[in-house]
Structure 1
């Protein structure tokens, strides 16, 4: 069992589109199934109509044969700059940060663990997702795939 949990995962991509165009894609978490190889469904929870600070939602995720649901809340929402959400089940904060560049936008996706990782998440990762190192590598690959898909949509 490997307990080497990386507190920060980060991937960036240069997109030949304005921050406003990229924001239009990433600011609606309901589009995550369009980009992420792990997310199959994202739905706002009852009582929430729009994606904004404080909005809560559920994600349906897959990894190989496994499927699970997570619950999350938008914790940072600054138009054309940053969207971040905290996953209640494992305490991870996922974010998209946008920065204008000479050729368009640099989009950065991060997974941060400021409060660590929940015990249940550690157990599930070690027991069913191949261990921390293997799952971390699959998350990084998924982040790259997600960013590539957003780039293709923004530039398409």
Structure 2
């Protein structure tokens, strides 16, 4: 009887971990059309540390290393949080760069890691800017709190990109 009980407990507890799972990568992509040449738009967004000039949620942005791989930028959000990002790839001719979260701050932004790419390309009436990312939620455990789960991470990343692209459009079109 004891052996059967022990076997049953091993089966129950041994298989319960099979039902638990960690986080899966999430993806977000936002796009905006801007009445302005790709060169003019790139002149604004192409400077990795210039985010505060066009993103309404950013209070200040400072950088080191310019636009070279390995450069870093520190973003101070108007909400009070601070995010540090590192530049991985920069292609001036292709008007694109890829960067990643360098220092996690889940209190400021509910993600534990991300890699993002911003690209400016020609469009019929000017430019199209595409901002996309792959990321993981803030709490990478099996049962995250609601404010640190996949839905919170997706909502935060989408809102940050959408607000930024809308701010870029407004900034660019006000100059014309």
TM-score, normalized by the shorter chain, greater than 0.5:
yes
Matched residues, number: 143
1:65-144 → structure 2 map (5 Å cutoff) = 67-79=80-92, 80-88=94-102, 89=104, 90-113=112-135, 117=136, 121-122=138-139, 126-127=144-145, 129=147, 131-144=149-162
Aligned match for 1:51, one of 43, 49, 67: 67
The structure whose Rg is larger is 2
Aligned match for 2:41, one of 22, 36, 48: 22
Aligned in 2, Cα 1:131/1:39: closer, same or farther, shift over 3 Å?
Answer: farther
Q: Which fold has the larger relative contact order, with Cα–Cα distance below 8 Å and residues 6 or more apart in sequence?
A: 1
TM-score, scaled relative to structure 1: 0.74
- Secondary structure of the 2:30 match is strand
TM-score, scaled relative to structure 2: 0.67
Contact kept in structure 2, 1:30 and 1:41, CA below 8 Å: no
Aligned match for 1:13, one of 32, 51, 57: 32
List gaps (5 residues or longer) in structure 2.
Answer: 1-21, 105-111
CA RMSD of aligned residues (A): 2.9
User: Runs (4+) of structure 1 moved beyond 4 Å?
Assistant: 3-6
How far does residue 23 in structure 1 lie from its aligned partner after superposition? 0.5
1:32-52 per-residue CA deviation (whole Å, 9 max, x = no partner) reads 23333543322114xx3x233
2:61 counterpart of 1:42 = yes
Contact kept in structure 2, 1:15 and 1:106, CA below 8 Å: yes
Aligned in 2, Cα 1:32/1:148: closer, same or farther, shift over 3 Å?
Answer: same
List gaps (5 residues or longer) in structure 1.
Answer: none
